[in-house]
Amino acid sequence: MNANQVVGKPLVKKDAAAKVTGRAIYADDIFLKGMLHVKVLRSPHAHAVIKNIDTSEAEKLPGVKYVMTHKNAPDFLYNSYWREPVDSTRLPDDEQVFSQKMRYYGDRVAAVVAISEEVASDALKLIKVDYEVLPAINTPLDALKPSAVKIHDSGNLIKEVRWDVGDVDKGFAEADYIFEENFQTSVQQHVPLEPRCYIADYDPTSEKLTVWSSTQGVHNIRVLLGKLLKMPLSKIEVLQPFVGGGFGGKNDLFEEILVSLLSMRVGKPVKINFTREEEFVASRVRHAHTMNLKMGVKKDGTLIARHLTAFLNSGGYAAASSKVALTTGHRWIMLYRTPNIRYEGSAAYTNYPVAAAMRGFGTPQQTFATEILIDRIARKLNLDVLEFHKKNLVRVGDYDPISNITIESCGLEECIDVGAKEIGWYEKRGKKIRSGSKVRGVGMAVGTHNTGVKPFVNEISAAFVKLNEDGSLNVMAGSCDIGQGSDTMIAQIAAETLGIPYEKVEVLSGNTDVCPYDIGTHSSRQTYMAGNAVHLAALEAKKLLLENTAINLGTSPDDLEIREGVISSKSEPQKSITVGEAAMTILHQDKNVQIMGRGSFASTTNAPPFMAHFAEVEVDTETGEVNVLKLVAVSDCGTAINPLIVKGQAEGGLIQGLGFALMEGLLFDSKTGVPLNANMTDYFIPTAMDVPDEVKTFVANVVEPTGPYGAKGIGEPAMVATAPAILNAITDATGVELNNIPITAEKMLSSLRGN
């Protein structure tokens, strides 16, 4: 039962009306006086050295104001994911604004600033470049061969992670059965509908730099710009307009550094708007994992040993790859109770596009392998796969040895039971219901992920609130809303905590001058972190409000409560005053105090969310087409602060997971490493036609004690378990075992024919 007034209600989002009327301003909708346009010449080779570059003709083109290359750009090295000094020890500084060496197709060669995009594009064609083409490395295994050409001088290994729990060799020796398979996931790309856009405006009179960025974390951009440009952070304002989707791909520092440098050089505002091809190849992609998974079980289905070896295809630069290697192992280790575990993860440079954060950050890749192998184990040992899961999955009270935390909430059993009932598991499983050439099956998978980034990164979020003299509230939150609804969630929590209506709360976020610090919108952390920060800020404001009001009403602060914008005495309800009247009085009369609050929250734990996904598919054995009939997601995200928003995440995740399973993956020329389908015609993301007839989502009854009003994350977990659930359903239908994705119709047909 929801005793809350605002939290837990499916309220309409604060920004929905602006978006649905076209009033919402995204970065490319911003036009500044005298603004110039940037186009970047990008490497047509996956691996090459620039031997000579001649920009003289380009510079002469009328309308061209400036051309930058490695010859006149600063040559500092950086890592686009850097946030704090300790990152220098764990993230390699291997990126430059312009390098002489091209390490992926799309790497920056030159930038032209001109009066229009058209003139800038024409100028690019006049730039003459002599490349020495080098052999392109496509896979991490190729990259790690001793004979492989070095992509960076430091060698091709970025990070090697090795974790041991117990004694895995002894564990396998004690196992009754051992299962081992190889798995491969694809280079999925975020494909946000909005191609990113960055604008910089440097004012030499105030020495202030303003940057508008399609980013997921304004403070991350600011601190890195400050470090590289050697400017005080108070002189750098990073603003986040509305962002058209991120999914992790808009986390890092991208061309903000380029437009900042260019604006400083030309003395005008400068904008770069990515083309869709640039969005595909010159931003970020998901790591393709090459995995070997080995599991040992006892006769009764108890997991006794697990060993995962993962090679991560990190692309031309490291960015956040070492963290993805860590998270892949962490979430794989902590989900199943097993006394003996070994994880070996290696992130390697290749000449593919740069891989970094994408929804799930390594978890979807290892979950793919784990949940498929478990399905196979259950099948081969004739065990109920649902019971196998329940027997071996973690529970409340279990200890996570990697993050050093104890699990305080876990709804996995409920997730499995609810999902099984909804899909009709026992009625359909193993039945291979046929209709002509089509055959049906059901499959399932479970998953987990983070709520925040502890222990691998320090967690912090902060917020300010100020109560206006009419009882309305302004919140300044460090978080960034990228469409997932964090601004709305924050408004709900602030309203609930203070006891005022949702309609009276306005949220400002994505502004580094006004809002306090937050590490960015990723790791499914905003509801938990920004939510907790705003909760603290609202509590401080509430305390100040009640202390001052108590004096006026002649009672004590403990005797007062606030409901729906009215402060009243619990013992004498006739003693009451509206929040607005109280705020006006306190501000202008009495002690002349501005009611405000600050909240700075650092988490001590990382409360994992959990989910179970179930899929029903129908495979056409003549064409290989896989039709997903039904998808079910049951999520343990703690309290759903806004059930409508949570439903949106769960549904969006299922469909993105469907894309990951059946449709998506960048393809590359095996010799040159050049991407072959970096466009929206040949890289398929699900359309409305791909949506199953039935998509059902549920939220488990779980309250996380450390979360704001009991909440945990959902954004990323929403797609972690979908692909293995679909593949397990295909196996249930056809008996065919599949170990890599995407399962296109051709691949399905080929597999059905025993290839």
Partner 1 sequence: MQEAGIQFSVNGENVSVTVKHNETLADVLRQKLGLTGTKVGCDKGSCGACTVIMNGKTVSSCLIPAVKADKSEIITIEGISVNGELDPLQKAFIEEGAVQCGFCTPGMVLTAKALLDKNPNPTVDEIKKAIAGNLCRCTGYESIIAAVRRAAKAL
Q: Which of 6, 13, 231, 400 binds partner 1 (CB under 8 A)?
A: 13
Find the angle CA(555)-CA(557)-CA(560) to the nearest 5 degrees.
80
Task: Tell me if 687 contacts partner 1 by CB under 8 A.
Answer: yes
Site for partner 1 in 626-645 (CB under 8 A): 644-645
Nearest C-alpha neighbor of 725 from the set 676, 655, 622, 640: 655
Nearest C-alpha neighbor of 714 from the set 528, 478, 560: 528
For residue 142, what are the contacts with CB-CB under 8 A and spacing of at least 6? 148, 350
Task: Tell me if 15 contacts partner 1 by CB under 8 A.
Answer: yes
CB of 191 to partner 1, least distance (A): 6
CB of 560 to partner 1, least distance (A): 35
Count CB neighbours of 242 within 10 A. 19
Task: Tell me if 647 contacts partner 1 by CB under 8 A.
Answer: yes
| Residue 557 to residues 465, 484, 707, Cα–Cα distance (Å) | 20, 37, 26
Strands 505-509 and 473-477: parallel
Nearer to partner 1 among residue 539 and residue 691 (C-beta) = 691
Nearest C-alpha neighbor of 237 from the set 268, 271, 270, 213: 213
Q: Where are the beta strands (DSSP E) in 195-245?
A: 197-203, 208-213, 236-239
Q: Which of 195, 217, 609, 710 binds partner 1 (CB under 8 A)?
A: 195
Strands 694-699 and 505-509: unpaired
Task: Tell me if 248 contacts partner 1 by CB under 8 A.
Answer: no
Rounded-to-integer distance, Cα 144 and Cα 461, Å: 39
Task: Tell me if 517 contacts partner 1 by CB under 8 A.
Answer: no
Nearer to partner 1 among residue 20 and residue 133 (C-beta) = 20
Nearer to partner 1 among residue 435 and residue 681 (C-beta) = 681
Task: Tell me if 146 contacts partner 1 by CB under 8 A.
Answer: no
Q: Where are the beta strands (DSSP E) in 570-671?
A: 576-578, 596-601, 610-620, 626-636
CB of 643 to partner 1, least distance (A): 9
Instruction: List phi, psi (to 5°) of 225.
Output: -60, -45
Site for partner 1 in 24-43 (CB under 8 A): 24-26, 28-29, 31
Q: Which of 3, 22, 205, 574 binds partner 1 (CB under 8 A)?
A: 22
Q: Which of 656, 672, 706, 740 binds partner 1 (CB under 8 A)?
A: 656
Task: Tell me if 648 contacts partner 1 by CB under 8 A.
Answer: yes
Find the angle CA(57)-CA(63)-CA(67) to the nearest 5 degrees.
50
CB of 747 to partner 1, least distance (A): 23
Burial label for 558, CB within 10 Å (0-12, 13-18, 19+), is: exposed
Rounded-to-integer distance, Cα 331 and Cα 402, Å: 9
40: which strand partners? Answer: 111
Nearer to partner 1 among residue 297 and residue 685 (C-beta) = 685
Q: Which stretch binds partner 1 (CB under 8 A): 82-90, 491-499, 580-588, 687-695?
A: 687-695
Here the tokens at position 273 are: 């708007």
CB of 585 to partner 1, least distance (A): 35
Burial label for 59, CB within 10 Å (0-12, 13-18, 19+), is: middle
Task: Tell me if 191 contacts partner 1 by CB under 8 A.
Answer: yes
Task: Tell me if 212 contacts partner 1 by CB under 8 A.
Answer: no
Q: Which stretch binds partner 1 (CB under 8 A): 123-131, 415-423, 449-457, 686-694?
A: 686-694
CB of 242 to partner 1, least distance (A): 6
Burial label for 670, CB within 10 Å (0-12, 13-18, 19+), is: exposed
Q: Which of 152, 227, 276, 391 binds partner 1 (CB under 8 A)?
A: 276
Burial label for 193, CB within 10 Å (0-12, 13-18, 19+), is: exposed
Cβ 361 vs Cβ 452: under 8 Å: no
Task: Tell me if 4 contacts partner 1 by CB under 8 A.
Answer: no
Nearer to partner 1 among residue 23 and residue 71 (C-beta) = 23
Report the chain's C-alpha Rg in angstroms.
27
Nearest C-alpha neighbor of 184 from the set 83, 86, 310: 310
Task: Tell me if 12 contacts partner 1 by CB under 8 A.
Answer: yes
Q: Which stretch binds partner 1 (CB under 8 A): 411-419, 505-513, 612-620, 652-660?
A: 652-660
443: which strand partners? Answer: 615
DSSP code at position 20:
H
Nearer to partner 1 among residue 687 and residue 750 (C-beta) = 687
Rounded-to-integer distance, Cα 748 and Cα 727, Å: 11
Task: Tell me if 681 contacts partner 1 by CB under 8 A.
Answer: yes
Nearer to partner 1 among residue 460 and residue 650 (C-beta) = 650
Strands 303-313 and 340-348: parallel
Nearest C-alpha neighbor of 226 from the set 34, 69, 76: 76
Nearer to partner 1 among residue 226 and residue 643 (C-beta) = 643
Q: Which stretch binds partner 1 (CB under 8 A): 101-109, 148-156, 191-199, 610-618?
A: 191-199
Nearer to partner 1 among residue 2 and residue 571 (C-beta) = 2
Task: Tell me if 10 contacts partner 1 by CB under 8 A.
Answer: yes
Nearest C-alpha neighbor of 615 from the set 536, 709, 723: 723
Cβ 339 vs Cβ 165: under 8 Å: yes
Rounded-to-integer distance, Cα 490 and Cα 486, Å: 6
Q: Which of 52, 147, 153, 689 binds partner 1 (CB under 8 A)?
A: 689
293: which strand partners? Answer: 181, 308
Task: Tell me if 62 contacts partner 1 by CB under 8 A.
Answer: no
DSSP code at position 114:
E
DSSP code at position 103:
-
Q: Which stretch binds partner 1 (CB under 8 A): 230-238, 306-314, 546-554, 654-662?
A: 654-662
Task: Tell me if 653 contacts partner 1 by CB under 8 A.
Answer: yes
Task: Tell me if 613 contacts partner 1 by CB under 8 A.
Answer: no
Q: Which of 23, 421, 432, 753 binds partner 1 (CB under 8 A)?
A: 23
Task: Tell me if 503 contacts partner 1 by CB under 8 A.
Answer: no
Rounded-to-integer distance, Cα 16 and Cα 343, Å: 44
Q: Which of 480, 619, 640, 654 binds partner 1 (CB under 8 A)?
A: 654
Nearer to partner 1 among residue 116 and residue 458 (C-beta) = 116
Q: Which stretch binds partner 1 (CB under 8 A): 12-20, 165-173, 231-239, 413-421?
A: 12-20
Q: Which of 133, 193, 396, 667 binds partner 1 (CB under 8 A)?
A: 193
349: which strand partners? Answer: none
Number of residues interacting with partner 1: please give it, by CB under 8 A. 57
CB of 177 to partner 1, least distance (A): 38
Nearer to partner 1 among residue 373 and residue 729 (C-beta) = 729
Task: Tell me if 673 contacts partner 1 by CB under 8 A.
Answer: no
Task: Tell me if 713 contacts partner 1 by CB under 8 A.
Answer: no
Task: Tell me if 243 contacts partner 1 by CB under 8 A.
Answer: yes
Rounded-to-integer distance, Cα 367 and Cα 659, Å: 16
Tokens 């019971």 correspond to 387
Task: Tell me if 680 contacts partner 1 by CB under 8 A.
Answer: yes
Task: Tell me if 655 contacts partner 1 by CB under 8 A.
Answer: yes
Instruction: List phi, psi (to 5°) of 47.
Output: -150, 115
Nearer to partner 1 among residue 98 and residue 280 (C-beta) = 280
Strands 236-239 and 177-184: unpaired
Q: Which of 556, 679, 701, 750 binds partner 1 (CB under 8 A)?
A: 679
Spell out, one character per residue from 340 to 369, where the chain touches partner 1: x when CB under 8 A holds, - when not: ------------------------------
Instruction: Please give the residue ranges that form the binding site for partner 1 (CB under 8 A).
Output: 10, 12-13, 15-26, 28-29, 31, 118, 190-195, 242-247, 275-276, 482-485, 644-645, 647-648, 651-656, 679-681, 685-689, 691, 695
